[in-house]
Amino acid sequence: MKAFRYHRPADVAEAVAVLAAEPQAAYLGGGTNLVDLMKLGVQRPDVLVDVTRLPLDTVEELPDGGLRIGATVRNSDLAAHPVVRRDYPVLARALLAAASGQLRNMATTGGNLLQRTRCVYFQDTSKACNKREPGSGCAALHGQNRDLAVLDWSEQCVATHPSDLAVALAALDTVVEVHDADGPRDVRIADLYRSPGTHPERETTLARGALITAVRLPPLPAARRSTYLKVRDRASFAFAAGSVAAVLNLDGDVVRDVRLAYGAVAHRPWRAYRAEEELRGRPFSPELAARAADAELAEARPLRHNGFKVPLTRAITVRALTELASS
Amino acid sequence: MSTGAVGRAYPRLEGAAKVTGTARYAVEYPVDGVTYGWAVPSAVVRGRITRIDTTEALASPGVLAVVHHGNAPRMAPGPQPELRLLQEPTVHYRGQYVAVVVATSLEAAREGARLVRIDYDTGPHSTVLTDDHPGLYKPDQVNPSYPTDTAEGDFDAGYAAAPVRVDVTYRTPAYHNNPMEPHATTAQWHDGRLLVHDSTQGATPVRATLAELFELPPESIRVVAEHVGGGFGSKGYAKASVVLAALAARHMDRPVKLALTRQQLFGPVGYRTPTIQRVRLAADTDGRLTAICHDAISQTSTIREFAEQTAVYTRSMYAAPHRRTTHRLVRLDVPTPFWMRAPGECPGAYALESAVDELAIAVGLDPVELRIRNDTAVDPDQGRPFTSRNLVACLREGAQRFGWAGRDPSPRAGRDGRWLIGTGVAGSSYPARARPSTATATARPDGSFLVQINATDIGTGARTAIWQVAADALGVPPERVEIRIGDSALPTAALAGGSMGTASWSWAVIRAAQALREKLRDGGPPTGEVTAEADTTEEVGGQPALPRYAYGAQFVEVRVDADTGEVRLNRMLGVFAAGRVVNPTTARSQLIGGMTMGLSMALHEEGLLDERYGDWVNHDLATYHITGCADVESIEAYWLDERDDELNPAGVKGIGEIGIVGAAAAVANAVHHATGVRIRELPIRLDKLIGISDLA
């Protein structure tokens, strides 16, 4: 693999400055994805800027009732945090449904959000991939694409975003705190990720060198009744075949508020606004949930091997909401 | 004679060394002046290298050399054409190793490999097995030396005349062995002699292969395989890693360590061929089989014929007057398939034991009872009585332990909330064989004994089992016995494969121990070391050719999510009749390991080939799913107390493979019972079952 330098910055400003000065630098969090990609030659940074020693590893309760989660908080610590477990069960469940215990001990909050697709063509430098090498083509479009997108893909890229955490955060209207060359700023998670379009190599709206320093959960009492369902090809340690993050707030049997997001269907964690719209203000029933999922998935365009994702996502939408409604 | 070590649950002798990390594997030995090799795979399927540009690679820091067909040391043809690596510019399959980069560190070698520029002339390729492939042909024999086709009676007439018939076709994908330790080698040349530490199932056959390739007397080569992290058949013979490491070390005149990556194991070291199997069964209305036909199609490569003996299982498992089996092959532009745990029996039993389940349903008979009715004391293939056949006893004990009685046979009879519950059964059998081996036993003046044999412990517990056998044969407590294995400098022995390791090795060890006791009896107490040797070549070769088999019965309960189609294992239970069990701890591990691998075959594993690139794209453990612990909620293995005096002195049948045979069928049969849906193409994943709640 390519030789690289290793830098441990004293603070966030220094980390951002190094990235600004080095065209081929990368932030190193838990390394659970980046190091693999470096071995495979998919990512070839000159410098690794290790951000795990920065003081970004705390979970802080905010005066407004929300929660700020530092970017280097490890996935296992976050999943075990009592406030997260009590107020945002969808988040704890999404974290625990991901990877393995060893990986969760290493993986960070910020790194998790910026992990790369597990599309097999992206991870193999001997095959065509526009995301890895713009203009080289998309081998997955007509290749083995069982794991890939059914929504919002382009001829240039059919990759999915692999994170479970990001799906839960999308449902929670999370704000991502970012530090770049212009200083700190907030980015709504809905604005963080990009559709693949003609530039699948650009996965987020962040400027090059931007560092995620924290994610901020708004106060959302309804999230106490929330869940994350993930279906996998084996019982543990697999990326999602389908997943749903759901928050449901009923007034009697009428849906007052609902938040839904899907994993494994698109280039980004997929917030199901249309389904939410179908549900809001109506008396809840499993049939309504199914209609809502159908509305969301109406524009799905399955590839050759992944047609099952549409009925699967529909089935787990109904299950998640029905379970929440009866809890 | 027995002091009773055999049959006791000793922990592995090397267990402490392994769990504390002091046990050394092939590339973990410290070597002065060592260099690191990185194998470069071809990026095309079929073609010819027209140019190799090593300029950039050689300029990369730490890179010492690039070895390729233009500069590699020459090798003799050798026994397996795919091992003649770096000798010519021809490429036969994607992933074929076409160069080795040698560097001062592993990372530098890897980076150098990326920088080797290779141009190819390419031609069209064919990499997908189909049942109408124009290249289908009949091989002269199937592995290892069975007739390609067999026929007794008149199948067509018998089948046509029967009141109940089943005609079904099953498909299995490519499976990849994926031992935890990859194929890995440290190679060193000293004064024309070659020392390799290799991850192999047999140091003796590796030495023989290297001797042929490098045209050396076997005494000039030493192969050490003290600890091996699994093989599942893929390390049964010398593979690319040892040849490349030896070539590179000779080229460099320096020691070379070379380990293949996980990705590089998908193909070039062998895999289980995909199969397409048509099974036709006919029976009378009582469920007695009258006609059996099994037609198996599999693939081989363009460089060597490997004919998986898929239908051989069917020749001896159940009796019927009219019988036929056939094998057909296609030569594809793929790496040569190779052994994977129970080659032949494993895919063959999946098809036959699934078809038997379909027949039981067609007849309206319980599948355990149908198997019992079709039991036979005489091998239908050889026409001779089995030396022992306890299939029925396994079925009965398994049914009793599992709670099979009273099962409602109708599909979808069981339900627990959203889960559909079903149960399934399958039979298992595997040949009990032995191969010639040699061993020595030494008495030392201090009252201790040394037993030496080039057996290999690939993680099975073989070292411990032989030690137990040796102690009993010497008539001393095992604590007084030291055992040395895993080195070609030790007395030559059979490889660890075909479930014949323990039978073969214990045979030689017992004979050596007996010879030593004879010597000691003549000579009184030893003042110096006294050694006796044994060679079982004549005795094993002179054994009458009788049908010797181990048997088993596997029972499975699954639950299937009616909405999502997810399949989960509730429990799995196997009962086996495999002769004498030497060590219950390690035996249980072998049996449940085999069963789990069968579960993995049924539900999870599938090599996904991309025809355009000609290779398997899901080539890592994140995307090629293997059953994990969480998938195995309950698993139990039992064995019968079986004595068979026609086997070998230790009375063992071998247990490494029987556990996987039939396991996938038991799972598939349970899925059918749960859902009413018969999936005849493995693996049974949720995409094949989603929406079943909407089905009638």
Q: Which CATH number characterizes residue B309's domain? A: 3.30.365.10
In a domain, residue B662? The reply is yes
Chain A environment of B111 (Cβ under 8 Å): 1-3
Assess if residue B266 is contained within a domain: no
Q: What is the pLDDT of residues B218-261, one digit of tens each?
A: 999 999 999 999 999 999 999 999 999 999 999 999 999 999 99
Judge whether A83 and A77 are in contact, CB under 8 Å.
no
Say which CATH number the domain at A285 has.
3.30.390.50
| Confidence check: pLDDT of B393 > 50 | yes
Closest-CA distance of chain B to residue A202, Å: 24
Is A230 at the interface with chain B, CB within 8 A?
Answer: no
* pLDDT for the residue A126: 95
Is A76 domain-assigned? no
Gap between the Cα atoms of B287 and B229, Å rounded: 45
Strand partners, A138: A129
- Count other Cβ atoms within 10 Å, centred on residue A61: 11
Chain A residues whose beta carbon lies within 8 Å of the beta carbon of residue B628: 234-237
pLDDT of residue B693: 73
Is the CB of A235 less than 8 angstroms away from the CB of B685? no
DSSP state of B629: G
Same domain flag for B669 and B642: yes
B44 in a structural domain: yes
- Average model confidence (pLDDT) for chain B? 97
Q: Give the per-residue pLDDT at B1.
A: 42
Residue B133 resides in a domain: no
Q: What is the DSSP letter of B73?
A: P
* pLDDT at residue number B301: 98
Determine whether the interchain pair A1/B110 forms a contact, defined as Cβ–Cβ distance below 8 Å: yes
Q: Does B566 touch chain A (CB under 8 A)?
A: yes
pLDDT of residue A1: 86
Helix residue ranges, H only, B549-637: 584-603
Domain with A15 in it = 5-50
Q: Confirm if B653 and B345 have CB atoms less than 8 A apart.
A: no
Contacts of A319 in chain B (CB under 8 A): 418, 563
Distance CA(A138)–CA(A157), nearest Å, equals 6
| Per-residue pLDDT, B78 | 79
Closest alpha carbon to B287 in B166, B378, B389: B166
Q: With CA atoms as reference, report the closest residue to B574 among B594, B604, B546, B547.
A: B594
CB < 8 Å to A237, chain B: 628, 630
**pLDDT exceeds cutoff 80 at B58:** yes
Burial tier of B59 (Cβ tally within 10 Å: 0-12, 13-18, 19+):
exposed
Q: How far away is chain A from the Cα of B105, in angstroms, using its nearest Cα?
A: 10
B661 has pLDDT over 50: yes
With a cut of 70, say whether residue B555 has pLDDT above it: yes
Judge whether B300 lies within some domain. yes
* Residues whose CB falls within 8 Å of the CB of residue B615, separated by 6 or more in sequence, listed in order: B45, B94, B95, B127, B266, B267, B609
Whether B608 and chain A come into contact, CB under 8 Å, resolves to yes
Give the closest residue to B556 by CA, choosing from B661, B429, B686, B402.
B402
- Residue A153 CA to residue A181 CA, distance in Å, equals 31
Of the CA atoms within 13 Å of residue A232, those in its CB half-sphere come to 24
> Nearest CA of chain A to the CA of B372: how many Å?
34
A319–chain B Cβ distance below 8 A for any pair: yes
Rounded to the nearest angstrom, the minimum Cα separation between A287 and chain B is: 14
Q: Which of B226, B358, B397, B657 is catalytic?
A: B657
Terminal CA-CA length for chain B = 64
Partner-chain residue, chosen from A41, A147, A308, that has the shortest CB–CB distance to B690: A308
Distances (CA, A) of B496 to A26, B63, B200, B313, B475: 47, 37, 9, 21, 26
| pLDDT confidence of residue B691 | 84
State whether B282 and B168 are in the same domain: yes
On whether both B534 and B587 belong to a single domain, the answer is no
Query: Is A87 inside a domain boundary?
Result: no
Above 90 in pLDDT, residue B695? no
B132 domain residue, yes or no:
no
Contact predicate B553/B391, CB 8 Å? yes
- List the single residue in B111, B564, B612 with the smallest CB-CB distance to A316: B564
What is the average pLDDT across B19-31?
97
Kindly determine whether residue A234 and residue B43, on different chains, have CB atoms separated by under 8 Å.
no
A248 touches chain B (CB under 8 A): no
Say if A119 falls within a structural domain: no
Q: Which of A25, A148, A172, A38 is nearest to A94 (CA)?
A: A172
Q: Which two tokens mark B374?
A: 């079709």
Top residue of B110, B563, B621, B692 to mutate, by most chain A CBs within 10 Å, is: B563
Please confirm, yes or no, whether B358 is among the known catalytic residues: no
B419 part of contact set with chain A, CB < 8 Å: no
Q: How far is residue B294's CA from residue A310's CA, in Å, rounded to a whole number?
A: 38
pLDDT of residue B141: 98
Q: How many CB atoms lie within 10 A of CB B490?
A: 20
| Facing residue for B564 by CB, picked from A118, A139, A312 | A312
For residue A64 the two structure tokens come to 């407004």
Give the pTM. Answer: 0.97
Residue B696 pLDDT more than 50?
no
Best to test chain B binding among A39, A312, A316, A322 (most B CBs inside 10 Å)? A312
CA distance A99 to chain B (A): 10
Minimal CA–CA distance to A264: which of A294, A249, A281, A243? A243
pLDDT, tens digit, 9 for 90 and up, residues A48-70: 999 999 999 999 999 999 999 99
Statement to judge: residues B61 and B198 lie in one domain: yes
Question: Is the separation of the CB atoms in A247 and A231 below 8 Å?
Answer: no
Confidence of residue B694 (pLDDT cuts 50, 70, 90): low
B462 shares a domain with B390: no
- Which residues form the domain of B212? 35-124+179-261
The closest alpha carbon to B388, from B644, B685, B71, belongs to B644
Number of domains within chain B: 3
Q: Does B618 touch chain A (CB under 8 A)?
A: yes
Does the residue A159 lie in any domain?
no
Set of chain A residues whose Cβ sits within 8 Å of the Cβ of B603: 234
**Closest Cα in chain A, distance from residue B616 (Å):** 10
B623 vs A118, A127, A308: nearest CB: A118
Question: Reading across the β-sheet that carries B481-484, which strands appear in turn?
Answer: B481-484, B449-452, B438-443, B530-535
Question: What pLDDT, in 10s, does the model give residues B425-449?
Answer: 999 999 999 999 999 999 999 999 9
SS3 content of chain B, % helix, strand, coil (to 5): 25, 25, 45
Question: Is A312 within 8 Å of chain B by CB?
Answer: yes
Partner-chain residue, chosen from B108, B608, B686, that has the shortest CB–CB distance to A231: B686
* Token pair belonging to B360: 């039981």
Fill in the amino acid letter for B564: T
Supply the DSSP symbol for B31: -
Do β-strands B193-198 and B221-224 pair in parallel, antiparallel, or remain unpaired? Answer: parallel
Same domain, B524 and B552: no
- Residue where one domain finishes, among candidates B232, B261, B290: B261
User: Which residues of B are less than 8 Å from A1 in CB distance?
Assistant: 107, 110-111
Q: Kindly state whether residue B56 falls inside one of the protein's structural domains.
A: yes
Decide if B603 touches A, using CB distance below 8 A.
yes
Pair B31, B255: CB distance under 8 Å: yes
What digits encode the pLDDT tens for the residues A144-183? Answer: 999 999 999 999 999 999 999 999 999 999 999 999 999 9
CA distance B252 to B232: 32
Cβ-defined contact of B686 to A126 (cutoff 8 Å): no
Chain-chain contact of A139 with B613 (C-beta, under 8 angstroms): yes
Domain boundary residue, one of B541, B573, B605:
B541
The answer to whether B631 contacts A234, with C-beta atoms less than 8 Å apart, is: yes
B433 vs A: CB within 8 A: no
Asked, for residue A265, whether it belongs to a domain, the answer is yes
* A11: CATH: 3.30.43.10
Number of Cβ pairs < 8 A linking chain A and chain B: 90
Interhelix angle B663-675/B584-603, rounded to 10 degrees, is 50
Same domain, B596 and B657: yes
Please tell me the distance in Å from A308's CA to the nearest CA on chain B: 5
Q: Do B608 and A144 touch (CB under 8 A)?
A: yes
DSSP for A124-166 reads: -TTS-BTTTSTTS-BTTTTS--TTS-SSS-BTTB------SHH
Between the alpha carbon of residue B94 and those of residues A63, B76, B485, the distances in Å are 60, 24, 37
Q: How far apart are CA A180 and CA A17, in angstroms?
A: 9
CA distances from B522 to B67, B519, B525, B526 (A): 59, 5, 9, 10
Assess whether B477 and B592 both reside in one domain.
Answer: no
A75: left (phi over 0), alpha (psi -120 to 50) or beta: alpha
Is B379 in the same domain as B321?
yes
Q: Where are the alpha helices (DSSP H) in B436-500?
A: 462-474
Q: Do A237 and B685 count as a contact with CB atoms less than 8 A apart? A: no
Which of 109-168 (A) contact B at CB < 8 A? 118, 120-121, 123-127, 139, 143-144, 146-147
Asked if pLDDT for residue B2 goes beyond 60, the answer is: no
Is B154 buried (19+), middle (13-18) or exposed (0-12) by CB count in 10 A?
A: middle
Chain A residues with CB under 8 Å of B631 CB are 234-236
In a domain, B116, yes or no: yes
Rounded to the nearest angstrom, the minimum Cα separation between A6 and chain B is 16
List, for residues B165-181, the tens digit of each pLDDT value: 999 999 999 999 999 99
| B644 and B664 assigned to the same domain | yes
pLDDT score, position B324? 98
Out of A1, A3, A236, the one facing B628 most closely (by C-beta) is A236
Q: What confidence tens digit (pLDDT) does each residue in B618-644 have?
A: 999 999 999 999 999 999 999 999 999
Chain B closest-CA separation from residue A126 CA (Å): 7
What is the mean pLDDT of the segment spanning A179-201? 97
Q: Is residue A234 part of a domain?
A: yes
Supply angle C-alpha B81, B83, B85, rounded to 5: 105
**Closest approach of chain B CAs to the CA of A207, in angstroms?**
29
Give the position of tokens 């056959």. B205
Q: Name every chain A residue with its beta carbon within 8 A of the beta carbon of B686.
A: 231, 233, 241, 308, 312
Where does a domain end: B519, B541, B563?
B541
Same domain as B335, residue B210 = no
Whether residue A136 lies inside any domain: the answer is no
Say if residues B492 and B196 touch (Cβ distance below 8 Å): no
The verdict on B428 and B296 lying in the same domain is yes
pLDDT score of A69: 98
User: In this predicted structure, what is the pLDDT of residue B692?
Assistant: 81
Q: Tell me which residue of B266, B269, B264, B274 sits closest to B332, measured CA to CA.
A: B274
Cβ pair B631:A235 closer than 8 A: yes
The SS3 call for residue B640 is: coil
The structural domain count of chain A equals 2
Search chain A and give the residue with CA nearest B106.
Answer: A1
Kindly state whether A326 is in contact with chain B, defined as any CB-CB distance less than 8 angstroms: no
On average, the pLDDT of chain A sits at: 97
**Residues in B 101-120 with any Cβ partner in A closer than 8 A:** 107-108, 110-111, 114
Write out chain A residues lying below 8 Å of B630, CB-based. Answer: 234-237
Other residues' Cβ atoms within 10 Å of the Cβ of residue B416: 9
Residue of chain B with shortest Cα separation from A121: B617
Asked if the structure places residue A213 within a domain, the reply is: no
